[in-house]
Amino acid sequence: MKKSIVIFGILFFLAMVGTAHANLLDNGNFDTDTEYGLSGKGWHVYSETTQDQVPGWDVLEGPGIEIQRNTITTAHSGNYYVELDSHGNSAMKQSVTLEAGSYILDFYYQSRRATSNDNGIEYGIGGYSFELADDNRATPGWEHYTYYFNVGTTGEYDMVFQATGADNTLGGFIDSVGLNPTPEPATMALLGIGLIGLAGVRRRYTR
């Protein structure tokens, strides 16, 4: 049974958080399967019936998870990245057990087209969701997004990514998804500035 989760925002940038803990997600950079039947340049859509070929991730809805290699762009890390507007807008999820405490969710996103309401990605955990504002974005390269949140009750939660916007097979890209406990010094800093209930604050950095 999914437990309630409280998302809180912070107004303080935490340096060097990405290396403090191992990733709690399985296959966050989509490179656990080093083949995917792809070599050089190519892509393939894994539907519900073939989702075991994308370790750690399940198709939640839509045609499936599209794994790409050196097609429109190169991966942020490793060789592979994901597009969720495959044969149509789709969603993927991964269930993860979290203990009560503070966490950091981060990932890299790249828009495919500089077109309004086209390459949106909605993401969230434990029933709370956020959407990237990608209208007319023309920024090249991968952009880093970070969310800080607090889990009130130990339990199993779903980490979800979903394509939004135009359903035209030309979606935004996702790579290097990480979920980690907040390092102890950062936790103390958060307590020092207080918690803001249900207010997620996005931090974006351009690579």
For 127-163, the pLDDT digits (tens) are 777 766 554 455 678 999 998 999 999 999 999 999 9
- Which residues does 153 contact at the CB level (< 8 Å), separation at least 6? 3, 4, 5, 100
Q: What is the pLDDT of residue 34?
A: 64
For 5-62, the pLDDT digits (tens) are 443 433 333 334 444 457 999 999 999 876 677 878 999 999 887 656 789 999 999 9
What is the domain class of 8-206 according to CATH?
mainly beta
Phi, psi dihedral angles at 5 (to 5 degrees): -135, 140
Q: What is the pLDDT of residue 84?
A: 92
- Domain residues of the chain, as ranges? 8-206
